[in-house]
Amino acid sequence: MRKVNLGLIGLGRHGIRYANHILKDTKNGRLVAICRRKEAQGKAFAKEKDIKFYNQYTELLKDKDIEAVIIVTTPNMNLDISIESIKAKKHILIEKPFATNLKDAKTIIEEAERETIKLMVAQTLRYNPVISEIKKRKEEIGSIHTISVSQRYESLDREWQREVKVAGGGNVLHLGVHIFDFIRWITGDEVKRVYCETANIFNPELEDSFVAAFNLNKGIKCVIDSCRYTDSRSGRIELVGEDGQLIGDFVHYSLAKIKGNEMIPIPTSGDIPTIKKVLEDFCDSIVNDRNPPITGYDGLKTIEIADGCYRSAREGKAVYL
């Protein structure tokens, strides 16, 4: 099996996860080099794993052995690194959020298309076993008219997530995009109307809580709440159809179908390495010259919805996308 030679830009907490998956269990990818601004830690990791180290991403992009890059940096760097990667003719897998604003997202897509660069956004929630099972079984509950989703996490523990210029946004942009992508993917439809309210509980600079209501083009209505202020974690999903309901939690790997008064448990495969699945799909798109399953356009649409949420919260009214 051919393996794609990969360069990893960003070796923080999340970047380490990518590195370890490539090194240990990604069947069609090979980690050639890493880039980290903290030179001592980066050099130590590279020496231990017998791979190349670069302190500057511009130097990594000059490496002719590298076919594709994985960008796992703070969101404010996504535009510049993506554009330079495209110029260097490297395919791109980029962590969500895809961009901090619509203009940057569109620019990345346009440049990638111009140079025929494969561009994939790592919306890892799609690979969660509960989400996958819901996707398979949604026809069992008939026409869906209502979707309810919540994502509740602990408060922020990284300083950059509290800085507007670095993070680009708060909970809407960082957790919300998971939910926005799920809604588009599970329904095959687009968000038409958004109403959103945000709150600052522990973070005075960026919202750490939001509630929102969406109307989709084909009439489905969605209710969303997401927060980062509770000493707990959950990911509830409810799909309500004419023939029943699907109710699950993608954090606790539970899923059930409700029919009449009966709740029928549905087994799922439990915790699986979603990053590994993302990496393998990305590499497969390069090896077989096919479009990635999660495209730059998918990433753009999540940023568009986030932008709508922010506009609605500022204006205190529903907005149309």
Q: What is the CATH number of the domain that holds 69?
A: 3.40.50.720
Taking phi over 0 as left and psi of -120 to 50 as alpha, with beta for the rest, 102 belongs to alpha
Q: How confident is the model at residue 1 (pLDDT cuts 50, 70, 90)?
A: confident
How confident is the model over 114-126, as a mean pLDDT?
97
Residue 237, phi then psi, degrees to nearest 5: -135, 135
Q: Are residues 120 and 207 in the same domain?
A: no
The pLDDT of residue 160: 83
**Residue 186 and residue 138 in contact, taking contact as beta carbons nearer than 8 Å:** yes
Distance between CA atoms of 316 and 188, rounded to whole angstroms?
28
One-letter amino acid of 2: R
Q: In this model, does residue 66 exceed pLDDT 80?
A: yes
Q: Are residues 188 and 138 in the same domain?
A: yes
Q: Are residues 149 and 172 in the same domain?
A: yes
Predicted confidence (pLDDT) per residue in 235-263, tens digit: 999 999 999 999 999 999 999 999 999 99
Q: Based on the number of CB atoms within 10 Å of its own CB, is 27 exposed (0-12), middle (13-18) or buried (19 or more)?
A: exposed
Q: Are residues 286 and 266 in the same domain?
A: no
Domain that holds residue 61: 4-124+274-294
Mean pLDDT of the chain: 96
Q: Is residue 308 part of a domain?
A: yes
Number of independent structural domains in the chain? 2
Q: Is residue 299 part of a domain?
A: no
Distance between CA atoms of 114 and 97, rounded to whole angstroms?
22
- Beta partners for 224? 149, 212
Q: Are residues 187 and 145 in the same domain?
A: yes
Q: Are residues 288 and 232 in the same domain?
A: no
Half-sphere exposure of 285 (CA within 13 A, CB side): 20
CATH code of the domain in which 232 resides: 3.30.360.10
The pLDDT of residue 272: 84
Q: Are residues 167 and 315 in the same domain?
A: yes
Distance between CA atoms of 280 and 286, rounded to whole angstroms?
10
Q: Are residues 104 and 15 in the same domain?
A: yes
